[in-house]
Amino acid sequence: MRVLITGGAGFIGSHLAEALLHAGHHVDIIDNLSTGSIRNVAHLKQHPKFKYVIDTITNEPLLAELIDGNDVIFHLAAAVGVKLIVEQPVHTIETNVHGTEVVLKHANKKKKLVFIASTSEVYGKNTDVPFREDANLVMGATVKHRWAYACSKAIDEFLALAYWKERGLPVVVVRFFNTVGPKQTGQYGMVLPNFVRQALAGEPITVFGDGTQSRSFTDVSDVVECLVKLMHEKKAVGEVFNIGNPQEVTILKLAELVKAQTGSESAIEFVPYDKAYETGFEDMPRRVPDITKIHNLVGFQPTVQLGEIISRVVHYFRSQQS
């Protein structure tokens, strides 16, 4: 099978490319390197079934050619990270909504299977956890730029499912819950790599808010294994799936675990949201997935638990320092 990954030099995209090549598939990637890095796929360049293009998906003639030459499209290209989203809301909305629009438009010409990468952020301020795929999406006010990302990804989902309902384009929507692992950076606000980098550097480990907010972290290896299984499952078409780990941890506890695993002497410091992001910033108190639906379809169950996840990220950062 031939597979195109938009955003293929990014964190999840590069791991997915490795997994697909290992399974014997041909892989093309396109990435403008705005948040991805060519280093993530440098070791794949000589692979006979791998091809990469450094360009934007808004280059429609090029995108159309790439889609035409592949059977499946994993659309991972997006503006990501809370810091980037707060600082560049226009870029966030335009990149996510327009990028998805052009992918779906060209995939529809020959009805190519499209996976739309969404996010747990779409559940917004909903407090009914764990989140089910059919739960209400509760967004904050439009004057709070923090919700621009969630809204843009919700529009992506609506658009993809509309293409399936109205035009018969096979689509699958996957909502990622805090996917982490080697090759992820903290450049745009990803919490675990930021904690590890700070701990290893002996800097204060900065916890935003009071640290009682909780998240669930999924190792990228579990995520890509699930994506590869979904690619072969016809019953997935037209559906939305949570992909995450139901194990929940507070951000303060996460900081303490990172400090312990690294043997760091760093202090844990609390930074108010207003100082970390912007005045009036709103956060989700809990974000926990219900994975019953994906488990019933492809048997997905996270195998890498939090202690090992942290260990892998610490090992990666240490390897980059040597």
List the catalytic residues.
Answer: 149
Element (H, E) at 241: strand 240-243
CB 146 within 8 A of CB 140: yes
Name residue 239's amino acid.
Answer: E
Beta bridge partners of 74: 5, 115
Instruction: Give the whole-angstrom CA distance, residue 244 versus residue 224.
Output: 11
Instruction: Give the whole-angstrom CA distance, residue 54 versus residue 56.
Output: 7
Name the token pair of 90: 């226009």
175 SS3 class:
strand
CB 175 within 8 A of CB 218: no
